Amino acid sequence: MCAKLWLLALLSSLWVGAASAHEVVPAIADMSASDGTLRLELRMNAEAFVAGIDLDSVVETDTAEEMARYEALRALDPAALEAEVRTWAADWPLRVLADGAEVPLSVDSVAVPEVGDTSYARITALGMVAALPEGARVVEVFWPKGAGQLVLRQMGVEEPFTGMIAPGASSGPIGLEGGDAVGPLQAFIDYIPVGFDHILPKGLDHILFVLGLFFLSTRLGPLLWQVSAFTLAHTITLALGALGWVSVPASIVEPLIAASITYVAVENLLTKSLHVWRPAVVFCFGLLHGLGFASVLGEFGLPENAFIPALLGFNVGVELGQLTVIALAFLAVGYWFGDKPWYRRAIAMPASLVIASVGAYWFVERAFL
């Protein structure tokens, strides 16, 4: 009974957080230099920055102390938010060194979209410029603490730098003429945490789908069949999507991902064992989840000279995240209670019911609201 109450409390808290989740997304900056001017074109959730949310420590803006301020900013029209962004950016501690000397950054442009679907972050384009010293050869970008992660991409040169910068860290020296592209091994290593992070802690929809697979049966065989089908499928569409060969709008993919969560959870309520069609259905749903992963990579970008290693690294990170979810679920309930005669009735079925409810809510929210 304690296990049942613990699990229901955990999944209920997921429901509360999931119902209005605003996932923290990394900022993306395209860096270019021409005519003695360095330009950073940032795409970011400007409301979170202006509100002062510590993006290093929160997974969703819903959990931040500054949530009221954040929501008020999200309701502003573009002109009003632009004014807020310009005021905030004037004192933002983003720093750039050119040949070891700091060059002051100033706001060049702010492009704010209209208020749209408030279940998703509104992405503002912030342009910042700095005058480069004559003959400058190398720049270094220092990303502030509290700003979450930054994806920095160099544009307009051969072998451009593409990398992830942690909060409070720097890019390291980047040649303005190019030549600092990461190698295949480093790209593979760099993109493993990107994939893992998209599952844990940020991929709540993927976490619930994997938990839906877990709660069908505590036996290893059924779980391996399902996970193998899911992995094979999402690997295929992840690769096709990252290569640009397949593209499906998020307005279609995201509701279907929610529907997949509901399906596997409802089937857990209706059957006690793995039927022959379940791996095939999971494979089809895995294709959808792979498209979701591909959209993440589409935002981040992949280094051109190490495209395949980076793609493999991202996929390895996703797999490690999924295996971690399964391991944690097993250690939490499967190991202790999986062989009890009341396990399905007291744990697996209530958990599946909560998962199905969250998936159904998401489907309605994403498809119709």
Does 175 map to a domain?
yes
114 vs 96, more confident: 96
**Per-residue model confidence (pLDDT) at position 2:** 44
Does 233 map to a domain?
yes
| Domain span at 136 | 27-181
pLDDT of 314 over the 60 cut: yes
Does residue 90 sit in the same domain as residue 211?
no
Does residue 215 sit in the same domain as residue 147?
no
Does residue 192 sit in the same domain as residue 177?
no
Amino acid letter for position 135: G
As for how many domains the chain has, the answer is: 2
**Helix axis angle, 220-242 to 307-329, nearest 10°:** 150
pLDDT of 302 over the 80 cut: no
Confidence of residue 10 (pLDDT cuts 50, 70, 90): very low
**Per-residue model confidence (pLDDT) at position 251:** 84
Q: Give the residue from 163, 181, 199 where a domain finishes.
A: 181
**Per-residue model confidence (pLDDT) at position 108:** 96
**Per-residue model confidence (pLDDT) at position 41:** 97
Q: Give the residue from 134, 150, 181 where a domain finishes.
A: 181
**C-alpha angle 253/254/255, rounded to 5°?**
100
Is residue 171 within 8 Å of residue 160, measured between CB atoms?
A: no
Does residue 144 sit in the same domain as residue 208?
no
Does residue 204 sit in the same domain as residue 342?
yes
The mean pLDDT value for 300-319 works out to 84
**Per-residue model confidence (pLDDT) at position 24:** 66
Does residue 240 sit in the same domain as residue 356?
yes
The mean pLDDT value for 139-161 works out to 93
Does 12 map to a domain?
no
The mean pLDDT value for 216-244 works out to 88
Does residue 164 sit in the same domain as residue 211?
no
Least confident of 139-148, 267-276, 289-298: 289-298
Amino acid letter for position 231: T
CA–CA gap between residue 105 and residue 96 (Å, rounded)? 8
CA–CA gap between residue 131 and residue 33 (Å, rounded)? 10
* Backbone dihedral angles phi then psi of residue 59, each to the nearest 5 degrees: -90, -35
Does residue 198 sit in the same domain as residue 84?
no
Q: Mean pLDDT of all residues in the chain?
A: 87
Q: Which secondary-structure segment (H or E) carries 127?
A: strand 124-131
pLDDT of 15 over the 60 cut: no
**Per-residue model confidence (pLDDT) at position 221:** 84
Does 109 map to a domain?
yes
Global pTM?
A: 0.77
Is residue 125 within 8 Å of residue 85, measured between CB atoms?
A: no
Does residue 256 sit in the same domain as residue 335?
yes
Does 150 map to a domain?
yes
1 vs 224, more confident: 224
Does residue 231 sit in the same domain as residue 118?
no
Return the exposure string of 100-133: e unless at least 16 CB atoms fall within 10 Å of the residue's CB, then b: eeebebebeebebeeeeeeeebbbbbbebbbebe
The pLDDT tens digits for 22-44 are 566 789 999 999 999 999 999 99
Does 5 map to a domain?
no
Q: What sign does the dihedral 1-354-197-231 (CA atoms) show?
A: positive
Does 171 map to a domain?
yes
Q: Give the residue from 164, 181, 198 where a domain finishes.
A: 181
Does residue 218 sit in the same domain as residue 99?
no
Does residue 169 sit in the same domain as residue 40?
yes
Is residue 233 within 8 Å of residue 286, measured between CB atoms?
A: yes
Q: Which secondary-structure segment (H or E) carries 241?
A: helix 220-242
Does 351 map to a domain?
yes
**Per-residue model confidence (pLDDT) at position 92:** 96
The pLDDT tens digits for 52-68 are 999 888 767 667 788 89
CA–CA gap between residue 40 and residue 29 (Å, rounded)? 6
